[in-house]
Structure 1
Amino acid sequence: MDLTEDESGRGTARILVLGIGNILWADEGFGVRTVERLAADWRFPDTVTLMDGGTQGLYLLPHLESADALIVVDAIDYGLPPGTRRVFQGNDVPAFLGAKKMSLHQTGFQEVLASAMFLGRCPQRLILVGVQPECLEDYGGGLTGTVAAQVAPTIDVILGLLRDEFDVEGTPREAAADIAAPAIARRAYEGGRPSAEDACRIGDPRILAALSAGRP
């Protein structure tokens, strides 16, 4: 892509760094948690937008339409060992997002990309930074240790992409900013989870009791 340059010769592409996924389902929240941490620890020029895309699907379309470049951060099922990270660009991005759908959020985001392409408003540069999840079926759970260990290295990858691909440097914040809503910030969300003894994680105990007694 030919980037517009200002008088200093630095690229001025509008870059959207988008974390997608559902934080309620363990490792599926990897993309959101990574961009959340990136925004808390780093500042960027106005040309860079950091966004928690969650599972918003087509509601993200206007944000893609206004970007020259898109960096998607997500948990991707590559069929590789948990915690494996891969970076893809260009046409490989929609291909990998659709290869093994883990949940509806990936179906929804494929539709976003397809719609943007159909309208001729898709970002010219597409980059996917994906990490293989370990667990997706723990409702209310946080990131597993294996995947959580990839948050910091993945931020380093994103910083490198911004620097090497777009000539954009981040500036570390002197003190980490709390950018997520308090109730769903990672520390509070994961630390406040009730124990398995206090909150049954396999179903309603009243139903389980009826089943064990042989009642319908």
Structure 2
Amino acid sequence: MTEQKTPDRFRILALGVGNTLMTDEAAGPRALQAFEAQHGGIPGLTCLDVGTLSFTLAETIGAADALIVFDAARFRTAPGTVRRLEGAEMDAFVRSGSLSVHEVGLRDLLDMARLTGDLPPRRALIGIEPNEIGWGLELSAPVAAAMPAAVAAAVEVARRWRAEEEALA
């Protein structure tokens, strides 16, 4: 028997991508921590700090109805700039190779989900332009100051997606 989709069963997966030992490379996990601390009670939300990614995440991504990814991303803008990319815009950016400052790519995971027919139909990247990448446990000042904007962007997306699901029910 197939599980009937209802708004209360709408699953949002939020991922924090990045190496927490490398200054602004930690923007994704730090933004995820702030998001979860402030809004972790959103129904159906699961938050995972996934470090520098792993192919074992493909199944977890495929089980979600919606995906939010926090990551340091090179937009060629001022350090600390937060951009929200959704759906096809996110896919194009991920495919461009510009997405991440680390080596293992989100692109491969999303392509695996796409090939198996498990790509979440709702996807958003909350990207934060890094200032510096090097050994260190602290975010640079502009990236640390961007955390509230990154959280606000994710909250807006999650609330809109839930409202869309409720309207469809």
Question: TM-score normalized by structure 1?
Answer: 0.68
2:85 is aligned, of 88, 100, 108, to 88
Separation (CA, whole Å) in 2 of partners of 1:78 and 1:43 = 28
Alignment deviations for residues 176-214 of structure 1 (CA, whole Å, 9 cap, x no partner)? xxxxxxxxxxxxxxxxxxxxxxxxxxxxxxxxxxxxxxx
CA RMSD after TM alignment? 2.0
1:128 is aligned, of 125, 128, 140, to 125
Contact 1:134 1:147 in 2 (8 A): yes
Matches within 5 A, 1:131-150: 131-136=128-133, 138-150=134-146
Runs of 4+ in 1 over 6 A off after TM superposition: none
Aligned residue number for residue 16 of structure 1: 13
2:39 is aligned, of 37, 42, 46, to 42
Compared CA separation, residues 11 and 167, structure 1 to 2 (3 A)? farther
Is 1:116 equivalent to 2:107 in the alignment?
no
Higher helix share: 2
Aligned residue number for residue 161 of structure 1: 157
Separation (CA, whole Å) in 2 of partners of 1:96 and 1:23 = 23
Aligned length: 159
Comparing 36-45 and 138-147, the one that deviates more:
36-45
Aligned residue number for residue 183 of structure 1: none
Aligned residue number for residue 207 of structure 1: none
- Higher RCO structure (Cα 8 Å, ≥6 apart): 2
Alignment deviations for residues 140-187 of structure 1 (CA, whole Å, 9 cap, x no partner)? 34210100011122112211211122239xxxxxxxxxxxxxxxxxxx
Shift of 1:45: 4.3
Separation (CA, whole Å) in 2 of partners of 1:13 and 1:68 = 6
Contact 2:52 2:102 in 1 (8 A): no
Query: Identity over aligned residues, as a percent?
Result: 30
Gaps of at least 5 residues in structure 1 are 169-216
Q: Secondary structure at the match of 2:20?
A: coil
Gaps of at least 5 residues in structure 2 are 165-169
Q: Secondary structure at the match of 1:162?
A: helix
Shift of 1:11: 6.0
Shift of 1:57: 2.2
Aligned residue number for residue 103 of structure 2: 104
Matches within 5 A, 1:67-86: 67-86=64-83
Alignment deviations for residues 26-78 of structure 1 (CA, whole Å, 9 cap, x no partner)? 11110111111222233324511111111132121111011011011111101
Higher-Rg member (1/2)? 1
Comparing 112-121 and 157-166, the one that deviates more:
157-166
